[in-house]
Structure 1
């Protein structure tokens, strides 16, 4: 609107077209000058005309996609995303046998994650999963997990764009793409608390209690594998010891992939907030990997965090879906427990199909734009992007500090 009017005159079509393609901030600056220029050149009627023009311009500006896009990018520049779950380390094993010397992490084919796309997506912190398949349970799971921790260490030390962090303070202050290490699946510790402690010493700051298989001490949400079938035994005595030892160490407890009964038992046992690093809302998509409303309420009481998974199977229930259906999960969880309990855990490179417009890690700004369109406030989105995760991480460390002097759990 503003670009069509200048001092009460219509601009020609070419000038109008060029003006409409200016970046939003320049449109605001230049066009506001155009509108106020008549104040010094015209009488009252000119001022009134300019005021009317300004009214319509501001209406245009508020509803303009230009401004929403710019607002999202400014927000993400100020609050770079901390993403709770990424499986590119798995793809490095599958596609390249962990031989980093053979590839350039700035631009990797056949994956959804590389440095260039992380930068485009305004990712400032990434939890990288050290994952090994369930069939390694009670075989070579510990060794394979060590190899995955090694490749994460290497990529985060060999590329200057990355920085390996192990504390909330380092994560908060990092000016690079901060790397956090998680272990995806309790089968990786082979029912050994000593192995858990050594993983912590190697920089692991989160562990999912299960993946797609039960462990001897915790229950999975999946029935793909037949390991350790059980009935109404969601978290054993040893499983509770794992939770307590993770509290003592200062390691985040991740309940994505765990059964709802296991998650409820964890919430009753843990002294620290817990996370679902990559799970969505069951009410929106009734998949067992998602979280029902009663568990969301318990998570709120725990002051924990659900980091919404973007995999089509979990947000669109089998359909490919689009950004809108992904945003529906954010809206639902916000309505149930508030925006302060929400983060983002994309699950890129760990799943096969993502909604249209969210195909890789570079697309995160489009999701934030959608939430802005849905009237999420900047404060709410700053929390979703990073502040909520930092709060949980800091509280996990606070519980660790309070337990200082508590002896390690000696149980096998």
Structure 2
């Protein structure tokens, strides 16, 4: 085939420049996060406000928390503030009103109310940057005004005191998800990290899922046992979330979601909001902590009544065995796995910042999300894929929960007798 003389310069130019529309991974990620920012499923700033400031926040500066609070050294600097949320392209955030699972239920209820209160007071202090959101429409409206849509999530079923009445009142106060358990079983649901006592959900636990669906409150299955996950999927009529979990096919921690559950997500419509905690993300880190716990138990058995020897021996063990590194790429592996098993429509983000003691290299705080999305683009994720992961999948889930609730407005609240 012969080219005419006029065409030759254009052909040579194309050989040297390549496709005009080609974008770098950084550009693909930036375009996605500009179109729709990150909707993060779990951040523990409210817990930090309690631990550091006893919920007295009149002098707390959320614009930049890298200046450490009194009595907190540099390695305990907070992961979150308004400046870094903006850098991280976070446009919607579920703030976790976590309280300890060791609390008696009545105390847990009171403490949760206090955490809802401090979260609302924090949001109200920054009206130019944050807006409380309790519906999908309010999330969109806040973001349209350039504000971070701020939602409330309750972490642990102990926070409702085994009462559907308390659950309904928490919803009325603005809580829009409940994690069914935390680290321990509740009287009606098994946790992933406690010895099973109910074989999943009890009858009350199943009624609780039904009542949450009736109201439009999201069922969060992070922290629960595999059987509890399955029971909730069997009973539920609305999409579920895992607010901060990984894929068990990548890291075998019980906190992560097994393939058997991932396969059910397309039928349910729910999402796994992938966590950034190295112990849940990288298997070598999980194994390291297990080995360390074993060494600590061995030293305690060798030196009963001599805690200094245990401390010194553990320090020697730590010095000889540094923690394995973990990076943004390790987190991306979980997204790959969930996409492979459940599909691109069932992946979202739930970093767990300010609730984790160690971080991924490259994602040390909430400003790191663009690095994750760049890594995903480097792996071949399209802008449309990234937009689903950052925001659109979670928006679909919330609208799905609201749509189901709207379809059953004639359903009466589920009643259970209070204790005598």
- Using the size of structure 2 for normalisation, the TM-score is 0.83
| Match of residue 405, structure 1, among 397, 410, 415 | 410
Tell me what 2:94 maps to.
127
Equivalent in the alignment of 2:243: 277
CA–CA distance in 1 between the matches of 2:8 and 2:119? 63
Task: Find the counterpart in structure 2 of residue 215 from structure 1.
Answer: 186
Q: CA deviation at 1:48?
A: 3.5
Alignment partner, residue 171 of structure 1: 139
Residue 303 of structure 2 corresponds to which residue in structure 1?
A: none
Report the CA distance between 1:409 and its aligned residue.
1.0
1:148 matched to 2:115? The reply is yes
Corresponding residue SS for 1:400: helix
Q: What is the CA–CA distance in structure 1 between the aligned matches of 2:242 and 2:353, rounded to whole Å?
A: 16
In structure 1, the residue matched to 2:54 is 97
1:157 to 106, 124, 127: 124
1:68 aligns with 2:25: yes
**Pairing partner for 1:370 from 335, 359, 375:** 375
Structure-to-structure mapping, 1:222-371, within 5 angstroms: 222-223=193-194, 230-231=196-197, 233-317=199-283, 318=285, 319-371=324-376
> Closer, same or farther in 2 for the Cα pair 1:61/1:186, shift >3 Å?
same
Distance 1:203 1:196 in 2: 11
Aligned with 1:253: secondary structure? strand
Q: CA deviation at 1:101?
A: 1.2
Root-mean-square deviation (Å):
1.7
Q: 1:55 corresponds to which residue? A: 15
* Alpha carbons 1:299, 1:305 under 8 Å: kept: yes
> What residue in structure 2 maps to residue 191 of structure 1?
162
Q: Which has the larger radius of gyration?
A: 1
1:391 aligned onto 2:396: yes
Shift of 1:275: 0.7
Q: Which moved more, 1:125-134 or 1:54-63?
A: 54-63
User: Contact 1:209/1:258 (CA < 8 Å) preserved in 2?
Assistant: yes
Residue 313 of structure 2: aligned partner: none
Q: Distance in 2 between matches of 1:71 and 1:379?
A: 10
C-alpha displacement at 1:323, in angstroms?
A: 1.2
Q: Secondary structure at the match of 1:207?
A: strand
Residues 118 and 362 in structure 1, CA contact (< 8 A), matched pair in contact too: yes
Structure 2 residue ranges without an equivalent (≥5):
67-76, 286-323
Whole-Å separation in 2 of the counterparts to 1:230 and 1:277: 22
Cα distance between partner residues in 1 of 2:270 and 2:196: 27
Q: Which deviations, in whole Å up to 9, do the C-alpha atoms of 1:93-138 show, x marking residues without a partner?
A: 1112222212110101311110000000110000000000011132
Structure 1 position 68, deviation (Å): 2.4
Give 1:61 deviation, angstroms.
8.3
The separation in 1 between residues aligned to 2:415 and 2:354, in whole angstroms, is: 37
Total equivalences in the alignment: 361
Deviation sequence 1:356-409 (CA, Å, 0-9, x none): 101111010010000001111111111111111011101101111111021111
Unaligned runs of 5+ in 1: 1-42, 224-228
Q: Partner residue of 1:226?
A: none
The secondary structure found in structure 1 opposite 2:153 is strand
Matched, 1:85 2:51: no
In the alignment, what sits opposite 1:6? none
User: Shift in Å at residue 81 of structure 1?
Assistant: 0.8
**SS of residue matched to 1:145:** helix
Distance 1:394 1:239 in 2: 24
| Counterparts of 1:215 and 1:256, CA distance in 2 | 14
Q: Secondary structure at the match of 2:325?
A: coil
3-state DSSP of counterpart to 1:101: coil
